[in-house]
């Protein structure tokens, strides 16, 4: 009888901890999906490990797909919110929009709706700042980059500064395509996000 009571108590405690673990949803593209990396090397996985090491009871869900745009994010986010019911949503999108030359105003509109959608679901939202190389033209690059802080300020979200700032210009931290960071870069990317979250 005693063993049965102890077993039921342990089951209750375990279930309660899991049920009450705050969920962090990462909605991103290849930079968060781990393009070109082996399983377990990406910054999102490293973020989960860091949280565990710091005794932070977070469940981090990676809802990132290589090639995704802000438009794709708008299509996918409702189901992700309904399924995972996150307390925190990290939006890492827009880079592919920029690489395709999407007008900055259109990107800003999509980012704004992504933030609002997550906030309506009760989540605290973090917008990850993205940047483009200057060969896209100074005017376009600056308008693109300004979107993130503009949206965050207007919608009362929070900004995670460009997490490739110490990576993008370092050839030894990039894959052969010159676009995607390699495994060596992932801890630096994770640390930039971790510090911005202020856990």
| Strands of the sheet with 23-28, listed across from one edge | 59-64, 23-28, 88-92, 124-128, 158-160
Main-chain dihedrals φ then ψ at residue 125, nearest 5 degrees: -110, 135
The answer to whether residue 2 sits within a structural domain is no
Which one is catalytic: 29, 63, 97, 180? 180
SS3 176: coil
> Helices 43-53 and 186-197: crossing angle, nearest 10°?
50
The answer to whether residue 12 sits within a structural domain is no
The answer to whether residue 22 sits within a structural domain is no
Taking the C-alpha atoms of residue 71 and residue 129, their distance in angstroms, rounded to an integer, is 17
Domain count for the chain:
1
pLDDT in tens, 144-162: 999 999 999 999 999 999 9
Structure tokens at 130: 């993205």
Domain that holds residue 185: 27-197
pLDDT in tens, 69-128: 999 999 999 999 999 999 999 999 999 999 999 999 999 999 999 999 999 999 999 999
Higher pLDDT, 17 or 184: 184
CATH number for position 110? 3.40.50.1110
Q: Assess whether 177 carries a catalytic annotation.
A: yes
Q: Assess whether 30 carries a catalytic annotation.
A: yes
The answer to whether residue 105 sits within a structural domain is yes
Q: What is the pTM of this model?
A: 0.89
Which one is catalytic: 30, 32, 63, 64? 30
């Amino acid at each position: 009888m005693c063993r049965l009571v102890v077993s039921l108590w342990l089951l209750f405690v375990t279930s309660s901890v899991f049920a009450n673990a705050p969920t962090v949803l990462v909605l991103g593209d290849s930079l968060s999906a781990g393009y070109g990396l082996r399983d377990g090397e990406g910054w999102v996985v490293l973020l989960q490990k860091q949280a565990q090491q710091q005794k932070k009871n977070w469940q981090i869900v990676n809802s990132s797909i290589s090639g995704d745009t802000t438009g794709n994010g708008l299509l996918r986010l409702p189901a992700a919110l309904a399924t995972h019911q996150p307390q925190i949503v990290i939006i890492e999108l827009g880079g592919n929009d920029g690489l395709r030359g999407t007008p900055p105003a259109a990107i800003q509109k999509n980012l704004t709706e992504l933030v609002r959608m997550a906030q309506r679901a009760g989540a605290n939202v973090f917008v990850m700042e993205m940047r483009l190389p200057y060969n896209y033209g100074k005017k376009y690059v600056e308008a693109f980059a300004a979107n993130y802080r503009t949206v965050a300020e207007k919608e009362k979200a929070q900004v995670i500064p460009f997490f490739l700032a110490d990576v993008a210009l370092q050839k030894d931290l990039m894959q052969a395509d010159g676009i995607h960071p390699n495994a060596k870069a992932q801890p630096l990317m994770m640390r930039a996000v971790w510090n911005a979250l202020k856990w």
